[in-house]
Structure 1
Amino acid sequence: MLPTMVVQAILWILYGLLLQPEPGTATLPLLMDSVIQALAELEQKAPATEAGHTASAWLLSAQDSCAHNPLQHFLLEEQSLKTTMLDPPSLSPELQGLTMEVARHGVWDGKECGVVLASDGSTVAVEPLLAGLEAGLQGNRVVNLPLDSTDTPPDAGVTFPDFGATVPDVRATSPGLRDISSDVTWADVGAVSPNVRATDLDVQVTSPDVQASSADTKAKFPTTVDSLLVVTLARDLGLNFLQGPQTWSHSLGTEGCWDQLSLPRTFTLLDPEASTLTTAFLNGALDGALLGDYLSRSPEPRPPLSHLLSQYYGAGVAGDPGFRSNFRRQNGAALTPTPILTQQVWGALILLQRLEPAHPHLQGMSQEQLAQVATHATKEFTEAFLGCPAIHPRCRWGAAPYQGRPTPLQLPLGFLYVHHTYMPASPCTDFERCAADMRSMQRFHQYTRGWDDIGYSFVVGSDGYVYEGRGWHWVGAHTLGHNSRGFGVALIGNYTAELPAEAALRAVRDELPRCAVRAGFLRPGYALLGHRQLVRTDCPGDALFNQLRTWPHFDKVSPRRLHYLGLRPICPHKLSTAPDPCLFA
């Protein structure tokens, strides 16, 4: 265990090295393991390094890394300037080359920079992750807002966008702004501990109903902000939704593809018009918030950051499989309830308006307008990201090309057909195994069955992820005679005698259909059917089918109901799960 002061020094040294790499050095693959390796190397050198400078002071003197983010500069660096730090030890040339690749998050010309591939298959932005770790290490997270946020402080620095030249001294005009009240704790702003098993959660994601002018508002006018949530998530949510409705369709959760998975170097977004609120950025922001919260609650001595990240992107922090990156959305929903996050986004905009009075999107904005932006941003984030399953795109699991020309679906569809794969028979619990199972099934479907592609629309693993098959837009090959009428969703494993993991069940029962309805892919009154109800098969297994019968959208498919739904049996007798020549057209 390293003292907190040393751990903070290591983090700020790494942050500084991200912005001053040695030119011309070879880079490591853009993997989270490489970032962890850099942290471990710094941690090994830190105890032997002579103290003398604060890491943040070294960072600012080397290159003003937070000039593009004055809110982060204000909330993090002032605290670090007061902390005795260490002279920055040098990293190996390879690790310095890596830092150049992940220095700062950004989206340019359809490419996303500053991101790495984690072992769970997710892509993570490094900058918000590091910001969250630093905020957690600082411990004091509650920051008082100025009482009159509409006043422009004197000597507020130069006008936007040349803000980096001068940091406005807001503390001079609002002495209480940075003061930490001794009787205010994180509980006062509604935090929920993340040390809860995501597999035990049944998070109900609801839409925020926050209106600044309403007497029944759920989010009251913020008087404090949590520095951890502001530097990881709230600021960027607010700023992106300040830009107006024309950007909202591209605002949240765009995925992308790596040039290769073994030695990733270039990440290309699937939507070339994506905003900076990509899936990778939101992953990094949630990871930073969750791990920062964990660090802020951990007693001294705190674990080395390399050890903490290895656990989080591995089997789970402190041996808890529910507290790992696979379940960041469920744990993030527990950490950021809608009213609390709305307050934090609103508060971040208030504080940023005070720091940057000439910001083009904040200038002249009233508190009611800021509250409405915060409400909409939180609603979209809660419903379209936290409330939806994490879906690995085809390129992530190494899909082979479609053979032939796909047939488009006529959306929205009215049915969701549930399958089990039977073979592979064992549930997959990690990305490497699940991705291998997907490739194996695709080869079987293409080369043994003679189909154009893997048959299922989506496949659900027991690792917390959904895997894209033919997706939302193309006709699949999963339910004979009904492929154009519904989506086929399979759970990896044989569920004749046992049930899938709760996270996998929740994805099929709640998250995937709810988000499909919201996006217009599935009708609100859709019917959920087991494969055996339409085709002569035992699929999806007795145990899973009996579970389906208890779900809200399950349809018993009586003969009258079949006629109403337009599903006409060739044979009119009652359906049976036994082998039967009665197939449905």
Structure 2
Amino acid sequence: MNMEQFIRTVEQIEGSNPSLTALSVVRSLLQVGGYDNPFFKHFLEASSVRSEHKPTIPDPEYSKFIRLAVHHKVTDQGREEGVVLCGDGTTVALGPVLLGIEAGLSAGTGNPPKGLCILTLARTLGLSFLHYHNSSLSQSLGPDGCWDNVTTPKNFTLSGAPSLATDALINGGMDGMLLGVHLSSLPSHSLRLSAVLKGYYRQGLEGPDAPPLLISAFRRDNFGQLVNISLLEEEVLSSLAVHRKLHEEVDPRTPVVLEDVVKTGVQEFIRRYIECPAIIPRCQWGARPYRGTPVQLKLPLSFVYIHHTLSPRQPCHSFQKCATNMRAMQRFHQDDRGWDDIGYSFVVGSDGYLYEGRGWQRRGAHTRGQNSRGYGISFIGDYNDMLPSLHSLRLVRERMATCGVGGGWLVSNFSWHGHRQLVNTKCPGEALYAEIQGWKGFQLRNSSDGGA
């Protein structure tokens, strides 16, 4: 299901109960969704109001839909439930979003929400770190997954063995924390839950240089400004202490071992979800299968080659438009040029996201004679006379670079090149080429570059 469906249902509930406050609505949604265990009650039942609150959703059809949309679980077949597809192409678990909203609305104007980070994200991270430490899982976080259909999504299947902190839970946790902080600063009497969700999950950016906004497309930027490593470590440890106390569990690990597990886990979380940009996977933009057998790169690489698409000529400011452009480019590269796949390693939209082409592991077809030595990153649009948005430039110059080095895909002293430095072309356009010449690590070609 998608976020629009959920918001429409919330609007119908609000319309049939016009006297309900946003806080009453969100409490009802969480109760129907099963978020009433001792852990959540510990933080959200400081007043008797919540414990006495009765769900205000009498319609059984509404209740069935809400339970399916909000109650999170992963099936034995790897399907993740309690998640929705957002208009920006990402997937979120609704439970932590609603928990953050309730905490924010309950706090009272100007008061810090009690247990906000623990409710939305820290507990999920802590339990996942411990589960990973005690298991043979290959990763402590993730994975992402794929919807069966992005137009009419019904089933979301994970792309690998699930940790206890899937990407959707992490996205929802970040969103819930951001919304909770924001709502705690506002008078709540006139708020509508549907309006809060519409504002945050709206589709597309308003222009090439829209200011940083409280919207889902900027969740990683905004969350990175809200927390730091030490704060997150403290919150995760606190959440585990509360969890053990409420469940009367005894942890055999010493405090030092537990702290090391949490420290390692939080560092990986920061690297993957704060330092790295969000990348829309191939299945989300509707990629065709690779033709033939992919050639694996020998990592780490030493170069990044910057391109512009020229065609499409216009930047794309929404997931729908960027995904359409990606499919068109892949068709052109496969059908007209006879390549195995879209040529670029990654493509940059103006919607706040990067799009996976051949990715970090596979050799691309982007820079003749150099495809084994570097990644090809292309900005959607014609950048002869204008620049990509500032946010898009930062995604590549700062986030992509940091992510590539931290992930072991790029050497620490890698170099930026414009496509024109290696091939007889005007790509990446006059304006964009002038821009990247000022980037740290930009290098004019010389004999050590391996070029003619």
Matched-pair contact (CA < 8 Å) for 1:425–1:493 = yes
Question: 1 CA distance for matches of 2:193 and 2:25?
Answer: 18
Paired position in structure 1 for 2:151: 262
Determine if the alignment matches structure 1 residue 44 to structure 2 residue 44: no
**CA–CA distance in 2 between the matches of 1:496 and 1:416?**
20
Decide whether the 8 Å contact of 2:30 with 2:99 is kept in 1: no
1:489 is matched with 377
d(CA) in 1 for partners of 2:238 and 2:55?
A: 35
Structure 1 residue 375 corresponds to structure 2 residue 342: no
Query: Match of 1:167?
Result: none
1:242 CA drift (Å) = 1.8
Report the alpha carbon displacement of residue 436 of structure 1 after superposing the two structures with TM. Answer: 0.8
| Structure 2 residue corresponding to 1:326, chosen from 199, 210, 217 | 217
Shift of 1:420: 0.7
By how many angstroms is 1:42 displaced?
A: 1.4
Distance 1:63 1:476 in 2: 45
> 1:178 corresponds to which residue?
none
Aligned-pair CA distance for 1:85? 4.6
1:316–1:323 contact (8 Å) kept in structure 2: no
The alignment status of 1:277 with 2:165, answered yes or no, reads yes
Partners of 1:79 and 1:138 within 8 A in 2: no
CA distance in 2, matches of 1:92, 1:441: 46
Greater shift after overlay, 76-85 or 226-235? 76-85
Decide which moves more: 425-434 or 337-346: 337-346
Where 1:250 maps in the other structure, the secondary structure is coil
- Tell me what 2:6 maps to: 35
Letter in 1 for 2:154: R
Name the counterpart of 1:451: 339
Residue number in structure 2 paired with 1:124: 92
Structure 2 counterparts to residues 218-237 of structure 1, below 5 A: 226-237=114-125
1:87 offset after TM fit, Å?
5.8
Q: Deviation of residue 408 (structure 1)?
A: 1.9
1:102 match: secondary structure: helix
Q: Deviations over 1:521-541 (max 9, x none)?
A: 222222211101100111111
1:66 equivalent in alignment to 2:36: yes
Matched, 1:473 2:361: yes
Q: 2:423 corresponds to which residue?
A: 535
1:346 is matched with which residue? 237
Structure 1 position 339, deviation (Å) = 2.2
Deviations 1:146-177 (A, max 9, x none): xxxxxxxxxxxxxxxxxxxxxxxxxxxxxxxx
SS at match of 1:243: helix
Q: Is the 8 A contact 1:475 1:483 kept in 2?
A: yes
Query: Normalising to structure 2: TM-score of the pair?
Result: 0.90
Structure 2 equivalent of residue 297 of structure 1: 185
**Pair 57,131 (structure 1): closer, same or farther in 2 beyond 3 Å:** closer
Residue 404 of structure 1: how far off its partner (Å): 2.4
Taking a change above 3 Å as real, the CA distance of residues 464 and 59 of structure 1, as seen in their structure-2 partners, is: closer
Q: CA RMSD in A?
A: 2.9
1:406 deviates by 2.0
Rounded Cα–Cα distance in structure 2 between residues aligned with 1:539 and 1:328: 31
Q: Which moved more, 1:514-523 or 1:363-372?
A: 363-372
Give 1:478's aligned amino acid: H
1:125 is displaced (CA, Å) by 0.5
1:32-431 aligned at under 5 Å gives the runs 32-47=3-18, 65-67=35-37, 70-79=38-47, 81=49, 85=53, 88-91=56-59, 93=61, 95-109=62-76, 110-139=78-107, 186=112, 226-245=114-133, 249-271=138-160, 273-314=161-202, 322-358=213-249, 363-431=251-319
Q: Which stretch of structure 1 is more off in the superposition, 304-313 or 238-247?
A: 238-247
Q: Structure 1 CA distance, aligned partners of 2:234 and 2:137?
A: 20
Please give the alpha-carbon distance, in whole angstroms, between the structure 2 residues aligned to 1:414 and 1:370: 37
Q: For the structure 1 residues 138 and 300, does the alpha-carbon distance in structure 2 shift closer, same or farther, using more than 3 Å as the test? A: closer
Letter in 1 for 2:265: A
Query: Contact 1:415 / 1:487 at 8 angstroms: preserved in 2?
Result: yes
**Gaps (5+ residues) in structure 2?**
none
Between the aligned partners of 1:331 and 1:283, the Cα distance in structure 2 is 12
Q: Distance in 2 between matches of 1:122 and 1:56?
A: 25
**CA 64–43 in structure 1, closer or farther in 2 if over 3 Å, else same:** closer
Change (3 A) 1:285 1:310: same
Letter in 1 for 2:74: V
Aligned length: 445
Tell me, in whole angstroms, the C-alpha distance in 1 between the residues paired with 2:95 and 2:71.
6
The unaligned stretches of length 5 or more in structure 1 are 1-29, 142-183, 187-224, 570-585
Q: Check the 8 A contact 1:55/1:85 in 2, yes or no.
A: no
- Paired with 2:326 and 2:30, the residues of 1 have a C-alpha distance of 45
Q: Evaluate the alpha carbon distance shift between residue 419 and residue 556 of structure 1 in structure 2; reply closer, same or farther with a 3 A threshold.
A: same
Q: In 2, Cα distance between the equivalents of 1:317 and 1:440?
A: 21
Tell me, yes or no, if structure 1 residue 516 matches structure 2 residue 404: yes
Shift of 1:475: 1.5
The one-letter code of the counterpart of 2:159 is L
Cα distance in 2 between the residues matched to 1:509 and 1:555 = 14
Give 1:321 deviation, angstroms: 6.0
Determine the C-alpha separation between the residues in 2 that align with 1:36 and 1:469. Answer: 32
The letter for the 2-side match of 1:38 is T
| Offset of residue 317 of structure 1 | 12
Task: Report the CA distance between 1:372 and its aligned residue.
Answer: 2.9
Q: Which amino acid aligns with 1:415?
A: F
Deviation at 1:431, TM superposition (A): 0.5
Aligned to 1:4: none
SS in 2 for 1:323: coil
Deviation at 1:450, TM superposition (A): 1.9
Question: 8 Å contact 1:509–1:551 — kept in the other structure?
Answer: yes
- The normalised TM-score by structure 1 is 0.71
* Shift in alpha-carbon separation, 1:452–1:87, aligned structure 2, 3 A: closer
Secondary structure in structure 2 of the residue aligned to 1:527: strand
Provide closer, same or farther for how the CA distance between residues 63 and 445 of structure 1 changes in structure 2, counting only shifts above 3 A: closer
Specify the code of the residue in structure 2 equivalent to 1:266.
Answer: N
Label 1:277 to 1:344 Cα distance change in 2 as closer, same or farther (>3 A). Answer: same
Residues 305 and 377 of structure 2 are in contact (CA less than 8 Å); yes or no, is this contact kept in structure 1?
Answer: yes
Partner amino acid, structure 1, of 2:240 = L
Aligned counterpart, 1:504: 392
- Give the structure with higher Rg (CA): 1
Q: CA distance change for structure 1 residues 316 and 400 in 2, over 3 Å: closer, same or farther?
A: closer
State the Cα distance separating 1:401 from its structure 2 match. Answer: 1.9
1:341 alignment partner AA: L
Q: What one-letter code is carried by the residue in structure 1 that aligns with 2:440?
A: P
Q: Quick one: distance in 1 between partners of 2:343 and 2:313?
A: 17
Q: 1:230 to 1:535 in 2, by over 3 A?
A: same
Aligned-partner residue type, residue 65 of structure 2: L
Q: Which moved more, 1:315-324 or 1:111-120?
A: 315-324
Note if contact 2:28-2:54 (Cα within 8 Å) is conserved in structure 1: no
Change (3 A) 1:59 1:343: closer
Alpha-carbon distance change, 100 to 352 in structure 1, aligned in 2, over 3 angstroms: closer
Distance 1:56 1:407, change over 3 A: closer
